[in-house]
A and B are shown apart, each in its own frame.
Chain A
Amino acid sequence: MTVDTIRPTRRGFLMGSGALSFALLASGAATILPAGAEAQPLPDGRVTAWVTITPDNRMTIMFGSAEMGQGVSTSLPMIVAEELDADWSTVASEQVSSDPEGVYGNPMAGGVLFAAGSSSVEGYFTYLRQAGAQARQILIQIAAAHWDVPAEEVTTHRSTVLHGPTGASMTYGEVAALPDPVWPSGEMPEAELKPRADWAIMGTDVERLDIPGKTTGAPVYSIDVELPDMVHAALLLPPVEGETPTLNSDAAARAVEGVVDVIVMDHAVAVLARSFPAALAGRDALDVGWTETSPFRMANSADELVALAEAADDMSADAVVWESRGSGPADFAAAGVVTGTYTTEHVYHAQMEPLNAVASVDADGMGAEIWLGTQSQTASILIAAAVLGTTPDRIRFHAMQMGGAFGRRTVFAREQMRDALLLSRASGRPVKVIWTREDDVKNGWLRPATVQRLDAVLDAEGYPTALRHRIASPSIFQFAMPDRWNPETRRDLLVMEGAESAEYAFGTFQAEHVLLPRQSRLSAWRGIGWAPNCFARECFLDELAGRAGTDPVSYRRRLLAGSPRALAVLDAAVEMSGFGTAPEGRAHGLAFAGYKKTLATGVAEVSVEDGQLRVHRFWAAIDPGMVVHPQAYRAQVEGGILFGLSSVLRERSTFTAGQIDQSNFYDYEPVRIADIPEIEVRFVESGEPPSGGGEIGVPMTAPAISNALRRLTGEGSTRLPFPAQQA
């Protein structure tokens, strides 16, 4: 990552607020922006720095990943505060909206602002500890200079600098109020950062900074933004992707009280009104025809499932090798090879805040102010600049906290923002675009269906000497991130990750991807490839264990023997659940699953009553390396388990002739509170660096439930969602 040095003109920013600010440069060096005579008002009220300390001893810590419920507005500042030796009760946090200097990006995401794939704490961990440590060193050096003592004699404790020999002390706020600028810099070696045993903030269950506000209705999401003279837009979207409208008549729409304008776009017809209900009423009154020539008129999800199944079985079909280990090709056509086939259907994100955006385009049409909930501020700003044909510096961007995202807000096209920009430019007014829930469901970017075929060559004891995991699916990556798709290698990590089975010793192993053309819009969904891929593998392994006449725990223990971390979570889940000792009429099922560096084992306890599957309890043992914020991590795991349960019970998007058949929560219904099991989560820390928790709840859940069902009834589910008579 490259970074410009901090421009001198910014030195004045903080002076105006009588505050100190610290920025961590890419080199690892810190720069101080001292209080002084150059007092200037804060431009846009923002400062490009990680930490601001005011004379009242309050501090604000910036965070780069967008808050969508995962708790980064607390967990990331905890990392800075730990090394800064801050008094946590003085800390507030603030979302970074843009990063023109390249200071705030996630090192794990190529240095851009991008929150996805459970990467925030993992990616920022070292970088933010260095930022906190360097800020602390700066405070020490200012205090040492003020006291005229050696800096080596100055220590810190809970937002206080101390000089033992003289007994002098100052709060960080008092240091921040000192007039003398100091410009220390230098690397902060990782080895000098606090070891786990010295953590005082990380690893504790501090309350999330965003929760009090979320109990009073106070949070402002982009859907809540209001501007003077703003109009609300409802869009009549194409019935099938890619079709264009012909406006027959807008007379009735324009006659609706409150309607301001009707604007025909390439891909939609927009009704602008003084209120959203008026915009909706105007939309209902439009008379619009569509080209009806989209190739997706031929797209049917039922047909796609058949085609995927055929491709998975057709060994002459072209397959991209994703992962290959072991000693050469195995004969999967030989007698005795065991085959299992698993199907996962399309699912929709169903984030609770319907997608929306607010934009106000400048009079010259070449700049704009934007309010958007997005998993990538960086990508959104670039998209906005491209829409207007301008440069990113003309985009004033407000990254808003999100009412859920789950992968829907990662994609490199932001239709609502694009349309808000185009409509604001056309109308000369600020515009808020809201998709109704029906718009959101019917224009979903779905996790694609997959058909997964596993073949195993078994030894005399029933253990694999060779295993092939073949996944037929269209490419998410090619569609959602076309600029970054490599058509030569065709490696789609959004579909294939999780198929590596890296902890398992299968002898010869190959994971491969049979790519079919997409039949719908596609994007990643919480759990990404790991959820469908671990479902297939873990169900298959229980089948193999059953064939071998071995229990699923010892069968896995032997295959996982080379991974102490995997064995630790497996054993912990077995112990905490009392695996295999379910009450009468119930059964336990188990699945081992990872998400990148995080490892987990889940155990489900299920029954079937009156034909209804019921998950009563779920135990999860997780190795996230180390846990920065345990209670928030636990919340992520709970939420991930319920996402997985939801994919078992009901979630399914289907489409007919290119149109998604579902409309709203009455025919696409995520889990409700009555569906949930008792959940128990235990951390099994290995001491590795922290790894993410947003996805890890999902991949283990469906296979654990299926395996429990199999042990209860003799037959698990090979499909997600489970067939209706089981679910």
Chain B
Amino acid sequence: MVNLNVNGRAVEVNAAPETPLLWALRDELKLKGTRYGCGAGMCGACTVHIDGQAAFACQMTIGDVGGSEITTIEGLSETGDHSVQQAWIAEQVPQCGYCQSGQIMRAAALLARNPRPSRQEIVDEMSANLCRCGTYPRIIRAIERAAQEG
């Protein structure tokens, strides 16, 4: 049993401390928006916020993050209206959608830290996340939009 703080709530997870955070979120806490893509920290489909910083949920255990504030896509906003989510709709970013939770979480963490990122800063940050459908041009536009309108 491990105690976690997820999306502003204290929760108990009935799993061993060495359980990857990704699978605890998905299968124990039923927060399915955090996706499994590679399990190797290479694709970013599992990106969540740990104390506000973008992090790969597949690369940490629940024992690692017991004292941290964990935010998943489900907790990014109450009603799906975070400026990044709104920009993602305005720019019609997603195709298959599978990587997009992770893309949005990384973009939101970037803008929280750097509200007016340059094009190069956006590209540098978002290079951690893969999108096989090729939504990258729209991801850049959406982040620029969120920075302007957010």
Q: List chain A positions with a Cβ less than 8 A from chain B.
A: 68-71, 207-208, 210-221, 223-224, 226, 232, 257, 275-277, 350-354, 401-406, 434, 436-437, 631-632, 635-636, 638-643, 664-666, 669-674, 676, 678-679
Contact = CB atoms under 8 A, between A and B. Distances in A.
B79 to A, nearest CB: 9
A272 to B, nearest CB: 14
Given A215-B94, A673-B126, A277 B23 contact: yes
Contact of B85 (A216, A226, A643, A666): A216
Nearest to A636: B95
B29 interface: no
Given A275-B27, A352-B37, A216 B73 contact: yes
Nearest to B18: A277
- Interface of A, secondary structure class, is loop
B37 A211 contact: no
A638 B42 contact: no
Contact of B38 (A69, A257, A402, A437): A437
Contacts of B33: 216-218
Contacts of A679: 137
Contacts of A223: 35-36
B132 to A, nearest CB: 5
B149 interface: no
A351 B80 CA distance: 26
Contacts of B94: 69, 208, 210-211, 214-215
A639 B133 contact: yes
Interface string B33-75: 1111111101101000000000000000000000000001110
A712 B100 CA distance: 37
Contacts of A224: 26, 32
B73 to A, nearest CB: 4
A404 B42 contact: no
Interface in B115-148: 123-124, 126-127, 129-140
A617 B96 CA distance: 25
A216 B94 CA distance: 11
Interface centre among A212, A215, A437 (most CB of B within 10 A): A215
A232 B19 CA distance: 15
Interface centre among B31, B34, B88, B124 (most CB of A within 10 A): B88
Contact of A437 (B20, B27, B40): B40
A652 B40 CA distance: 20
A352 B98 contact: yes
9 closest Cβ contacts across the A-B interface?
A217-B33, A403-B98, A69-B96, A639-B134, A214-B97, A642-B134, A69-B95, A217-B73, A665-B42
Contacts of A257: 16
19 contacts: A69-B95, A211-B88, A211-B92, A215-B88, A215-B94, A216-B74, A217-B73, A223-B35, A352-B45, A403-B99, A406-B132, A437-B43, A631-B92, A641-B134, A642-B136, A672-B127, A672-B136, A673-B136, A676-B136
Contact of B34 (A69, A207, A217, A406): A217
A676 B122 CA distance: 13
Interface in B97-118: 97-101, 104
A402 B40 contact: no
A212 B20 CA distance: 29
B89 interface: yes
A405 B133 CA distance: 9
A147 to B, nearest CB: 41
A215 B100 contact: yes
Given A224-B32, A403-B96, A207 B137 contact: no
A352 B130 contact: yes
A437 B26 CA distance: 17
- Interface of B, secondary structure class, is loop
Contacts of B31: 217
A586 B19 CA distance: 50
Contacts of A664: 38-40, 42
B20 A210 contact: no
A437 B98 CA distance: 14
Interface of B: 15-16, 19-20, 23, 26-28, 30-40, 42-43, 45, 72-74, 76, 80, 85, 88-89, 92-101, 104, 123-124, 126-127, 129-140
B98 A665 contact: no
Contacts of A276: 23, 27
Contacts of B97: 69, 210-211, 213-214, 219, 401, 403
Contacts of B73: 216-217
Nearest to B85: A215
A499 B130 CA distance: 32
Contacts of A211: 88-89, 92-94, 97
A126 to B, nearest CB: 26
Contacts of B92: 207-208, 211, 631-632, 635
A279 to B, nearest CB: 10
B74 A404 contact: no
Nearest to B120: A674
B14 to A, nearest CB: 10
A665 B37 CA distance: 10
A642 B130 CA distance: 12
Interface centre among B76, B88, B96 (most CB of A within 10 A): B96
Nearest to A644: B134
A354 B37 contact: yes
Contacts of B136: 642, 671-673, 676
A218 B28 CA distance: 17
A635 B36 CA distance: 24
A700 to B, nearest CB: 15
Nearest to A274: B27
A214 B100 contact: yes
B80 A672 contact: no
B42 A216 contact: no
B90 to A, nearest CB: 9
B123 A674 contact: yes
B78 to A, nearest CB: 11
A215 B89 contact: yes
Contacts of A232: 27
A476 to B, nearest CB: 20
Contacts of A678: 137
Contact of A404 (B38, B123, B133, B140): B133
A216 B99 CA distance: 12
Given A215-B89, A635-B92, A643 B100 contact: no
Nearest to A679: B137
A400 B20 CA distance: 26
A352 B19 contact: no
B74 A665 contact: no
